[in-house]
Structure 1
Amino acid sequence: MTIRTHASHAPRIAVAGLSARLVAQSATRAGLDVVALDVFGDRDTREHAHLWFDIAGDGLSIDRARLYDALEQAAHLPRMLGLVVTSGLEPLTDELARAPRVPRFIGNGGEAAAVRNPRRFFALLDDAGIAHPEVRFTPPVERQGWLVKCPDGCGGTHIEQAEHVDETAPGAYFQRLSPGRSMSALFVAARRETVVIGFAEQLSIPMGHLPFVHAGSIGPIDVMPTTAIRIVEAIETIVRKTNLTGLNSIDFLLDDDTFRVLEINARPSSTMALYEAARPDAWPRGLIGAHLDACLHGELPRARCAQSTMLPMRAGQRVIFAPFTFTVSHALSDACFSDPACHDVPLAGTRIEAGMPVCTVSAIAPTLARLHVELEREHARILRSIQMD
C-alpha cells in the first residue's frame, strides 16, 4: 500500500482494475478523493490517488485475495461513496456487487448479466432485430474465418483465431470475422434511458497468436447522421431491455452505413479520456461525475453536453509496447512523467517484458489527419527514448 499525504476532506471512491489511472484522473477532476487498486502502480495513478493498493497476481492478472483485502480496508475509510471498476474485473463484477465488507458497488452488477452472457446477449440482439456477426456456441466445421472469444476478457487478449485454438475455455464462443472499422460508442444510462456521448475508432495490433490486441483509440469520430441514429436506437433498445446504468460502451463494426454489434462493456471505458480531452469544458466534473450521477441519483447529463460528434477538436491515445525486455531507468521514468502527452508512466526499476505495455501517449488536434501525425510522432519519440535508455 502506498499513501500520498494530503488534507482533502472530499468524498472518496475506490477504483479497481488492471489499471486505475484513467478513472482516477477523471475522478480527481470531479473533486473526489481516490483510492486506487491496480496491478501497475504507475506514477500518474499514484499522483491522482490518496491511497494505492497493489492487487497484482501472476502476469497481467488480479489477485483475488489481495483485491478483497484492499477493498475491506478501503470500506473503513471515511466519506467512502463506493467502488468503480475498470477492465480486468469482469469475472468478479457480480460477486463484488453482492459482497459484504467492501465499498458499495457503483455500476452494473447483476443487472448486466444479459450483456455479459453471450447466449443471452446475442439472443437479445436477434429478438430486437439488431445486426451482429454470426455467432456459434459449438466449433464450426471449417474454423478458418472464425474467431474464438472469451466473454470475461478485455483488451483483445480474449480473442484468438479459431484455427489456432485446439481447446476453448468454458463459456467461450465463436464469432465469424466480418468487414468494417472497429468502432465504439460511449454512453451513460439511467432508469432505462440513455445519452450517447460520442463515437470513437478502436486501434489494434496483432501480437503473437492474438490478432486484435487493444492499442488505443481516436475520437470523436463523425458517423453519417442516418447511421448514427440507428446506432443510438440500438443502444436505447439494449438499455431498455437490460437496465444498464452509468458509463458503458458498445463495440461494433462499421462498414459504410452498415453496423454490426460485437459486445457491450458494462463499465467505464478508456475512450472517456477522448471526450474529456477534446472538450473539457463540457465535462468540468469529468465523465466519472456523470457516472456517479447516473448510478447514485438516476440523473443523465444534459444532451447538449453530450454531442461529442460535433466537437471541433479530436483526441487520440496510443499504447506503446516494449520492443524488447528492459528495466525502466530513473531517467526514462522522469522524462515520461514530466511529459504531458505521456500517461501510465512506470516507476524506475520496473521490469517490462517484450510485448508488454510500457505507457500510453495522447494527442489533441483539430483534424483526424493531424491527430494521426501527432500520435505517430509521440509514439516514435518514446520508442527512441526506450531504445537509447
Structure 2
Amino acid sequence: MSATAGHFAEPRAQPDGSAPFVAVAGLSARMLAQSAAHAGYQVAALDLFGDRDTRLYSKLWIDIGGQGLSIDRGKLRAALQRVARLPRLLGFVTGSGLEPHIDVLQHAAQLPRLIGNDADATAAVREPRRFFAMLDELGIAHPDVALERPERPEGWLRKQADGCGGTHIRAAANADADANADAEADSSRYFQRMSAGLSMSALFIAARREASIVGYAEQLCVASGALPYVHAGSLGPIDLPARVTEQIGFAVRSIASRANLRGLHSLDFLLDGDDVSVLEVNARPSSTMALYERASRDAWPRGLLAAHIDACLDDRLPAARTNTPMNTPMNAPSCRVAQQVVFAPEAFTATRRFSDALYVDPVCHDIPNAGTRIEAGQPVCTVLVTGDSRAALQRELQRHTQRLLQRIEICLEPSHESVD
C-alpha cells in the first residue's frame, strides 16, 4: 500500500507560517492536532506519546508524560510556558487527562489563554456537590449519588470527578481494598448507584448560554482488572426517538445556560428504553468529535475544533439548518462511524515494520513510533471504520482489530530487526 493510501490521503488545510498557532494538550493530542491542522492552524501538541500522526499534524510536540499513563504537572506547566512564546498563539485547548490540573492552569500566571470554560463554569459541571444539586434543581434525572461511602456499598460505584476514560471508576464494595482510597478521599470523590441502560453521549457546542447538539453516540467500554468501565471507543452518529431527544435537548440547554458553558462538551447519559439518566458533563472537546467530522465532512469544512474556538473566543455558534428542532443534530451524516482503542494483550516493542504498516493503513490512528515500548493493557492505536449499520461497524472493528493483533504477534517473535 502506498503512503497516499494512509494519513496523507485525508484532505486537510496546509497551515503556513503566517497562520495562528493553537496549542492542544491531553493524554493523547492527536485528534485535536488533526482537527486544528485541518482548520488551517499551526499546532503545538502536548501529550504523552508523540505518535507519528500527532507529529504529522503538529509544528511542535512536547512530552508532558509522568509515571505510567499520567500527565506530569511540572512538565505540563513548563510546556505551556514554552508555547506561550509562539507567534500569533490563540491559546490552548484541553483534551482528556487534564481534568486534575485544570484548576491550576486556570489560575497560573505566564500561561497561554485557555480556550474553554472559565473556572466557575468548569466547577459547575465537574464538582459533584454543585453538579448534582443543579440537576435536581432543573428536574434532570440522574442515578442516586452519595458524597460519602454508602453503608451498604454493593451496587454502588466510586468515581473521581477529575478522572477520565473510566480508569477512575471502581466498585464501591472494593474501595477499602484500594491502597489509594485515603489519598482520593477529597472533594472530587463521589459514589453513584449502578443503573440500567445503554451508555451514550451527546456532543454539543455552547455559547451565549445557548447550545446546539452535534450528535449522539454509543459509548464502547471494556472491563480491565478491577476497572469495570474502561472507555474503549464510540459508535455514531446514532438516531434516537423524538421523546428521547427532547429529554436530552432539555438537559443540554438547561445545563449550558445555568453553568454558562462555552465550546465543545459531551453529556454522558444512560438510555433505558425511553428514559434518560444523566451521568456527567465533560467540559472539553470529546473524542466523539472524530465521529462527526468523519460522518459529516461537508457540514464541518473547517472541523469541529474550529467551531470550539469560535464559540469560546467569539461567542459564536455554528449556523443551524432552518426549521430544524433544537434537539435534532445539526447535520445529517453521510455514513456511520466507529472508533475503538486496541489494547496490547502483552508487552511488546513496536518495530519499524509494525509502525510503518499502521502508518499507511487508513483505519489506524495514534500510530506508535518505532522503538516504543507498549506494556500489557496499554493502548496500541485507535481503529476508525465506517459503515451503514451498527452490525457492519462491529464486523469491521472486529476484522481490523484481529489483523492488528496478528501484527502484534509478529512483533513478539524473535527478530534482529532494528527499530531505529
Query: Same fold per TM (> 0.5)?
Result: yes
Identity %: 55
Mapped to 2, the partners of 1:191 and 1:197 lie a distance apart of: 17
Paired position in structure 2 for 1:79: 88
Alignment equivalent of 1:123, drawn from 124, 129, 133: 133
Q: Relative to 1, partners in 2 of residues 1:320 and 1:308: Cα closer, same or farther, differing over 3 Å? A: farther
Q: Distance in 1 between matches of 2:409 and 2:330?
A: 38
Cα distance in structure 1, aligned partners of 2:246 and 2:145: 25
Q: Does residue 152 of structure 1 match 2:162?
A: yes
Which of 198, 207, 212 is the matching residue for 1:195?
A: 212
Counterpart of 1:58, as a letter, is Q
Would you say 1:183 and 2:193 are equivalent positions? no
1:359 and 2:381 are equivalent in the alignment: yes
Correspondent of 1:221 among 238, 255, 258: 238
Superposed CA deviations along residues 241-297 of structure 1, whole A, max 9, x for unmatched, are 100100000100000100100000000000000000001111010000100110010
1:105-131 Cα shifts (integer Å, max 9, x gaps): 100131211111001100000111100
Letter in 2 for 1:388: I
* Aligned match of 2:418: none
Match of 1:101 in 2: 110
Amino acid at match of 1:343: H
Per-residue deviation, 1:309: 7.3
Deviation of 1:373 after TM superposition, in Å, equals: 1.2
Counterpart residue identity of residue 241, structure 2: M
CA–CA distance in structure 1, aligned partners of residues 392 and 317 of structure 2: 33
Q: Give 1:23's aligned residue.
A: 32
Q: Which amino acid aligns with 2:174?
A: H
Equivalent residue letter for 2:262 = T
CA distance in structure 2 between the aligned counterparts of 1:99 and 1:291, rounded to whole angstroms: 23
Q: From the superposition, tell whether residues 369 and 304 of structure 1 become closer, same or farther in structure 2 (CA, over 3 Å).
A: farther
Q: Does 1:236 align with 2:253?
A: yes
Q: CA deviation at 1:97?
A: 2.2
- Which residue of 195, 213, 227 maps to 1:210? 227
Does residue 253 in structure 1 map to residue 270 in structure 2? yes
- 1:94/1:109 contact within 8 Å kept: no
- State the distance in 2 between where 1:55 and 1:86 align: 13
Deviation string, structure 1 residues 344-378 (Cα, Å, up to 9, x no partner): 11111111110111100000112222111111111
8 Å CA contact retained: 2:20, 2:42: yes
Aligned to 1:3: none
Residues 188 and 248, structure 1, Cα contact 8 Å, conserved in 2? yes
Q: Give deviations 1:125-154, integer Å, cap 9, x for gaps.
A: 011110000001111121111100011100
RMSD across aligned positions (CA): 1.5
What does residue 343 of structure 1 align with? 365
Provide structure 1 residue ranges, at least 5 long, that are not aligned to the other structure. 1-5
Among 42, 51, 62, the alignment partner of 1:33 is 42
State the shift of 1:231 in Å.
0.6
Amino acid at match of 2:43: V
SS in structure 1 at match of 2:381: strand
The answer on whether the counterparts of 1:116 and 1:151 sit within 8 Å (CA) in structure 2 is yes
Q: Separation in 1 of the partners of 2:390 and 2:334?
A: 11
Matched with 1:288 is: 305
2:100 aligned counterpart, secondary structure: helix
Q: CA deviation at 1:217?
A: 0.2
User: Which of 82, 89, 92 pairs up with 2:101?
Assistant: 92
Could you tell me how far 1:98 is from its partner in structure 2?
2.6
Q: 1:140 aligns to what? A: 150
The aligned amino acid for 2:316 is E
Tell me, what secondary structure is at the counterpart of 2:321?
helix
In the alignment, the residues of structure 2 paired with residue 387 and residue 255 of structure 1 have an alpha-carbon distance, to the nearest angstrom, of 40
* In structure 2, distance between residues paired with 1:32 and 1:309: 24
Contact 2:320/2:330 (<8 A) preserved:
no
Q: SS of the residue aligned with 2:340?
A: strand
Q: CA deviation at 1:307?
A: 2.6
Deviation at 1:27, TM superposition (A): 0.6
Structure 2 gaps of 5+ residues are 1-14, 323-327, 412-420
- TM-score computed with the length of structure 1 as normaliser: 0.96
Shift of the alpha carbon at 1:95?
Answer: 2.2
Equivalents in 2 of 1:229, 1:129: separation in Å? 14
**Counterpart code for 1:270:** S
Which residue is 1:304 aligned to? 321
Q: Are the aligned partners of 1:15 and 1:37 in contact in 2 as well (CA < 8 Å)?
A: yes
Q: Secondary structure at the match of 2:298?
A: helix
2:123 aligned residue: 113
Residue 333 of structure 1: aligned partner: 355
Separation in structure 2 between the aligned mates of residue 181 and residue 157 of structure 1, nearest angstrom: 19
Shift of 1:75: 0.6
Is the aligned partner of 1:270 residue 2:292?
no
Q: Which moved more, 1:360-369 or 1:162-171?
A: 162-171
Separation (CA, whole Å) in 2 of partners of 1:16 and 1:138: 33
> 1:304 and 1:63 mapped to 2: Cα distance?
43
Distance 2:331 2:150 in 1: 39
Q: How many residues end up aligned between the 2 structures?
A: 385
User: How far 1:308 sits from its partner (Å)?
Assistant: 5.6
Aligned partners of 1:360, 1:372: CA distance in 2, in Å?
A: 14
Q: 1:52 aligns with which of 38, 61, 82?
A: 61
